[in-house]
Protein backbone atom coordinates (compact mmCIF):
# COMPACT_ATOMS: atom_id res chain seq x y z
CA UNK A 1 0.00 0.00 0.00
CA UNK A 2 0.94 3.67 -0.17
CA UNK A 3 3.40 4.96 2.38
CA UNK A 4 3.73 8.37 3.96
CA UNK A 5 4.12 11.10 1.37
CA UNK A 6 5.45 14.61 1.80
CA UNK A 7 5.52 17.63 -0.41
CA UNK A 8 7.42 19.45 -1.63
CA UNK A 9 10.54 17.29 -1.73
CA UNK A 10 12.72 20.37 -1.71
CA UNK A 11 11.99 23.97 -0.87
CA UNK A 12 14.27 26.97 -1.23
CA UNK A 13 13.01 30.18 0.26
CA UNK A 14 14.26 33.57 1.26
CA UNK A 15 14.67 34.60 4.85
CA UNK A 16 11.48 36.15 6.16
CA UNK A 17 9.10 34.26 3.87
CA UNK A 18 6.47 31.79 5.11
CA UNK A 19 6.53 28.15 4.03
CA UNK A 20 4.04 25.30 4.22
CA UNK A 21 5.08 21.68 4.31
CA UNK A 22 2.55 18.94 3.70
CA UNK A 23 2.32 15.39 5.00
CA UNK A 24 -0.08 12.69 3.85
CA UNK A 25 0.03 9.77 6.29
CA UNK A 26 -0.67 6.11 5.71
CA UNK A 27 -4.40 5.58 5.36
CA UNK A 28 -5.99 4.65 8.67
CA UNK A 29 -3.12 5.84 10.83
CA UNK A 30 -4.50 8.03 13.59
CA UNK A 31 -1.16 9.28 14.91
CA UNK A 32 1.02 11.69 12.98
CA UNK A 33 4.40 13.11 13.99
CA UNK A 34 6.65 15.84 12.69
CA UNK A 35 10.41 15.72 13.25
CA UNK A 36 13.27 17.92 12.13
CA UNK A 37 16.69 16.65 11.13
CA UNK A 38 19.54 19.11 11.02
CA UNK A 39 23.31 18.75 11.11
CA UNK A 40 23.78 20.43 14.44
CA UNK A 41 20.77 19.07 16.32
CA UNK A 42 20.21 15.58 14.93
CA UNK A 43 16.62 14.33 14.84
CA UNK A 44 14.22 16.35 16.97
CA UNK A 45 10.56 15.77 17.73
CA UNK A 46 8.37 18.74 16.86
CA UNK A 47 4.69 17.88 17.30
CA UNK A 48 2.34 14.92 17.61
CA UNK A 49 -1.26 14.58 16.42
CA UNK A 50 -3.81 12.04 17.53
CA UNK A 51 -6.65 12.50 15.10
CA UNK A 52 -7.01 16.23 14.56
CA UNK A 53 -5.81 17.28 17.98
CA UNK A 54 -2.23 17.92 19.02
CA UNK A 55 -1.70 16.73 22.58
CA UNK A 56 2.02 17.32 22.40
CA UNK A 57 3.49 20.43 20.80
CA UNK A 58 6.47 20.50 23.11
CA UNK A 59 9.06 20.26 20.36
CA UNK A 60 8.03 23.29 18.33
CA UNK A 61 11.08 25.57 18.59
CA UNK A 62 9.26 28.91 18.48
CA UNK A 63 5.88 30.50 17.89
CA UNK A 64 6.84 30.88 14.24
CA UNK A 65 6.13 27.16 13.89
CA UNK A 66 2.59 25.83 13.77
CA UNK A 67 0.86 22.75 12.46
CA UNK A 68 -2.62 21.54 11.82
CA UNK A 69 -4.27 18.34 10.77
CA UNK A 70 -7.62 18.12 9.09
CA UNK A 71 -9.99 15.21 8.60
CA UNK A 72 -7.67 13.04 10.65
CA UNK A 73 -5.46 12.77 7.62
CA UNK A 74 -3.31 15.41 5.93
CA UNK A 75 -1.15 17.65 8.07
CA UNK A 76 0.49 20.96 7.26
CA UNK A 77 3.51 22.36 9.07
CA UNK A 78 3.82 26.11 8.65
CA UNK A 79 6.93 28.13 9.36
CA UNK A 80 6.40 31.88 9.41
CA UNK A 81 9.13 34.44 8.83
CA UNK A 82 11.70 31.77 8.08
CA UNK A 83 15.22 32.10 9.42
CA UNK A 84 18.42 30.50 8.16
CA UNK A 85 18.51 28.23 11.21
CA UNK A 86 15.23 26.71 10.03
CA UNK A 87 17.12 25.02 7.19
CA UNK A 88 16.77 21.29 7.77
CA UNK A 89 14.99 18.18 6.60
CA UNK A 90 11.46 18.00 7.96
CA UNK A 91 10.26 14.45 8.39
CA UNK A 92 6.72 13.28 8.91
CA UNK A 93 5.79 9.88 10.34
CA UNK A 94 2.54 8.09 11.06
CA UNK A 95 1.48 5.12 13.14
CA UNK A 96 -1.61 3.38 14.39
CA UNK A 97 -1.27 5.41 17.57
CA UNK A 98 -0.96 2.45 19.90
CA UNK A 99 1.99 2.45 22.27
CA UNK A 100 4.98 0.72 20.79
CA UNK A 101 3.63 0.70 17.27
CA UNK A 102 6.14 1.42 14.54
CA UNK A 103 6.27 4.88 13.06
CA UNK A 104 6.62 4.91 9.30
CA UNK A 105 8.44 7.88 7.87
CA UNK A 106 7.95 9.88 4.73
CA UNK A 107 10.82 10.91 2.46
CA UNK A 108 11.09 14.34 4.05
CA UNK A 109 11.11 17.92 2.81
CA UNK A 110 14.52 19.54 2.49
CA UNK A 111 14.14 23.20 3.40
CA UNK A 112 16.84 25.71 2.59
CA UNK A 113 16.45 29.26 3.80
CA UNK A 114 18.72 31.73 2.03
CA UNK B 1 15.91 13.24 31.67
CA UNK B 2 14.99 10.94 28.82
CA UNK B 3 17.94 10.44 26.54
CA UNK B 4 19.42 8.10 23.96
CA UNK B 5 23.18 7.84 23.59
CA UNK B 6 25.04 6.36 20.65
CA UNK B 7 28.75 6.59 21.34
CA UNK B 8 30.03 5.40 17.96
CA UNK B 9 29.90 8.18 15.36
CA UNK B 10 31.33 5.84 12.73
CA UNK B 11 31.95 2.12 12.37
CA UNK B 12 33.61 -0.04 9.74
CA UNK B 13 32.88 -3.71 9.16
CA UNK B 14 34.08 -6.22 6.60
CA UNK B 15 31.43 -7.67 4.31
CA UNK B 16 29.92 -10.90 5.70
CA UNK B 17 31.11 -10.10 9.23
CA UNK B 18 28.81 -9.29 12.14
CA UNK B 19 28.75 -5.84 13.72
CA UNK B 20 27.29 -4.41 16.92
CA UNK B 21 26.05 -0.83 17.13
CA UNK B 22 25.80 0.49 20.67
CA UNK B 23 22.86 2.29 22.23
CA UNK B 24 22.19 3.24 25.82
CA UNK B 25 19.10 4.98 27.10
CA UNK B 26 17.89 6.80 30.14
CA UNK B 27 14.30 6.95 31.34
CA UNK B 28 12.45 6.63 34.60
CA UNK B 29 9.31 5.28 32.94
CA UNK B 30 8.73 1.56 33.45
CA UNK B 31 7.03 1.29 30.05
CA UNK B 32 9.00 2.29 26.99
CA UNK B 33 9.82 1.08 23.53
CA UNK B 34 13.15 0.94 21.77
CA UNK B 35 13.54 1.16 18.02
CA UNK B 36 16.30 1.04 15.45
CA UNK B 37 16.02 2.84 12.14
CA UNK B 38 18.31 2.82 9.12
CA UNK B 39 18.84 5.93 7.02
CA UNK B 40 20.66 5.36 3.73
CA UNK B 41 22.21 8.24 1.83
CA UNK B 42 18.91 8.67 0.00
CA UNK B 43 17.45 9.97 3.26
CA UNK B 44 14.47 7.77 3.99
CA UNK B 45 14.08 6.36 7.51
CA UNK B 46 13.61 2.61 7.42
CA UNK B 47 12.30 0.76 10.47
CA UNK B 48 14.44 -2.21 11.42
CA UNK B 49 13.47 -3.63 14.80
CA UNK B 50 11.49 -2.95 17.99
CA UNK B 51 11.91 -4.01 21.62
CA UNK B 52 9.36 -3.33 24.31
CA UNK B 53 10.53 -2.77 27.87
CA UNK B 54 8.50 -5.73 29.13
CA UNK B 55 9.56 -8.11 26.39
CA UNK B 56 11.32 -11.09 27.92
CA UNK B 57 13.17 -12.13 24.80
CA UNK B 58 15.49 -10.15 22.56
CA UNK B 59 13.85 -9.04 19.34
CA UNK B 60 15.03 -10.48 16.05
CA UNK B 61 14.17 -9.56 12.47
CA UNK B 62 16.08 -11.48 9.85
CA UNK B 63 19.74 -10.44 10.05
CA UNK B 64 18.96 -7.88 12.76
CA UNK B 65 18.80 -8.65 16.45
CA UNK B 66 18.54 -6.40 19.44
CA UNK B 67 20.69 -7.20 22.46
CA UNK B 68 18.46 -5.82 25.22
CA UNK B 69 20.07 -5.52 28.65
CA UNK B 70 17.48 -3.79 30.79
CA UNK B 71 19.55 -3.47 33.94
CA UNK B 72 22.33 -1.79 31.99
CA UNK B 73 19.82 0.26 29.96
CA UNK B 74 21.37 -0.81 26.72
CA UNK B 75 19.76 -1.84 23.43
CA UNK B 76 22.53 -2.71 21.02
CA UNK B 77 21.77 -3.62 17.41
CA UNK B 78 23.55 -6.63 16.00
CA UNK B 79 23.73 -7.04 12.24
CA UNK B 80 24.88 -10.46 11.14
CA UNK B 81 26.51 -11.23 7.79
CA UNK B 82 26.95 -7.59 6.79
CA UNK B 83 26.17 -6.64 3.21
CA UNK B 84 27.36 -3.67 1.16
CA UNK B 85 23.79 -2.37 1.22
CA UNK B 86 23.95 -2.10 4.99
CA UNK B 87 26.16 0.99 4.66
CA UNK B 88 24.03 3.77 6.14
CA UNK B 89 23.31 5.83 9.24
CA UNK B 90 21.69 3.89 12.04
CA UNK B 91 19.56 5.57 14.68
CA UNK B 92 18.49 4.19 18.00
CA UNK B 93 15.26 5.71 19.30
CA UNK B 94 13.10 5.47 22.38
CA UNK B 95 9.38 5.93 22.79
CA UNK B 96 9.20 7.01 26.42
CA UNK B 97 6.25 6.23 28.59
CA UNK B 98 2.89 4.72 27.90
CA UNK B 99 1.06 8.04 28.07
CA UNK B 100 3.43 10.18 26.03
CA UNK B 101 1.88 9.59 22.67
CA UNK B 102 4.62 7.55 21.14
CA UNK B 103 6.96 10.37 20.15
CA UNK B 104 10.48 9.18 19.47
CA UNK B 105 13.65 10.45 21.07
CA UNK B 106 16.62 9.73 18.83
CA UNK B 107 20.30 9.20 19.42
CA UNK B 108 22.89 11.00 17.33
CA UNK B 109 23.34 8.04 15.03
CA UNK B 110 26.15 5.74 13.95
CA UNK B 111 27.45 5.76 10.40
CA UNK B 112 28.20 2.21 9.32
CA UNK B 113 30.47 1.50 6.38
CA UNK B 114 30.68 -2.03 5.02
CA UNK B 115 33.93 -2.81 3.22
CA UNK B 116 34.07 -5.35 0.36
Which pLDDT band holds residue A98 (cuts at 50, 70, 90)?
A: confident
pLDDT tens digits, residue range B83-112? 999 999 999 999 977 666 788 999 999 999
First to last CA, chain A: 37
The alpha-carbon gap from A39 to the nearest alpha carbon of chain B, in Å, equals: 10
pLDDT tens digits, residue range B23-71? 999 998 888 999 999 999 989 999 999 999 999 899 999 999 999 999 9
pLDDT at B99: 64
Q: Identify which of B46, B50, B93 has the shortest CB distance to residue A100.
A: B50
The conformation of residue A41, written as its DSSP 8-state character, comes to: T
Closest CA to B101 of A39, A30, A38, A42: A30
Contact list, B104 vs chain A (CB under 8 Å):
33, 35, 43, 45, 93, 103
A95·B102 Cβ contact <8 A: yes
Mutation target among B101, B106, B108, B109 for the A interface, most CBs of A within 10 A: B101
Closest CA to B99 of B30, B26, B50: B30
pLDDT at B76: 98
Angstrom distances, CA of residue A51 to CA of A10, A48, A77, B18, B50: 27, 10, 15, 42, 24
Distance CA A110, CA A93 (A): 15
Amino acid sequence: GAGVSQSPSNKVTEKGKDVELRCDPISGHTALYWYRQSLGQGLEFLIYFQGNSAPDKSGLPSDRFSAERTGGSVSTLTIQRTQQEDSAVYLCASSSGLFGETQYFGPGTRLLVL
Amino acid sequence: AQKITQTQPGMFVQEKEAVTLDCTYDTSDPSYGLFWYKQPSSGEMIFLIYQGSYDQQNATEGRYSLNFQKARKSANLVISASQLGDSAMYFCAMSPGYNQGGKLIFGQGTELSVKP
